[in-house]
Amino acid sequence: LTTVQIIPLALYCFIMAFFGFFGNGTVLYSSIRYNAIRLDRVSLLLVQNLAVADILYTFCVIFPQLVTYISGKWILGKVYCFISAQISPIPGSANALTVLLITTWRLLVVTNPFRNIKQLMVKLAIGFYMGSCYGGDHYFISIPLYFQI
């Protein structure tokens, strides 16, 4: 790549890394420390998990790209290369599943306003588990993110 191509890519990666760490860190800090986000417990947990997955994605994918664009070659070593290559699909699938869970949870709450919340949580957990079994083994890695309640 030429310098004219590297500068916009590095700038883009820097902006994404900055806002990825700062924005998601702010969401986590404000929701845990000050209880600033007013959502029900399940929705808040899912938003926090989405922020954690975004931070992991920023650390595993965007940050190495930024360093590689600036240096012109891979300088992070073989171990980080292996770890980054193995871990990078996990936050992406965790993001997709978290957005799916948020949507499903809100749909269940809206369509069943008078039902017990624990029954809805059991339905959601069973549906997620069945979907994970159908989707493949790599989704099982993100299951502990969702059941911290």
Cα four-point dihedral sign 56, 61, 67, 73: positive
Q: What is the three-class DSSP state of 5?
A: helix
Those residues whose C-beta lies under 8 Å from the C-beta of residue 97, and which sit 6 or more positions away, are 128, 139, 142, 146
Amino acid 139: pLDDT: 45
Put simply, whether the predicted model's pTM sits higher than 0.75 gets the answer no
pLDDT tens for the chain, 149 residues long, are 788 989 999 999 999 999 999 999 999 999 988 888 888 888 888 888 889 889 988 998 899 999 999 998 999 999 988 888 888 888 878 788 788 788 888 887 788 777 777 777 777 777 766 666 555 544 444 444 444 44
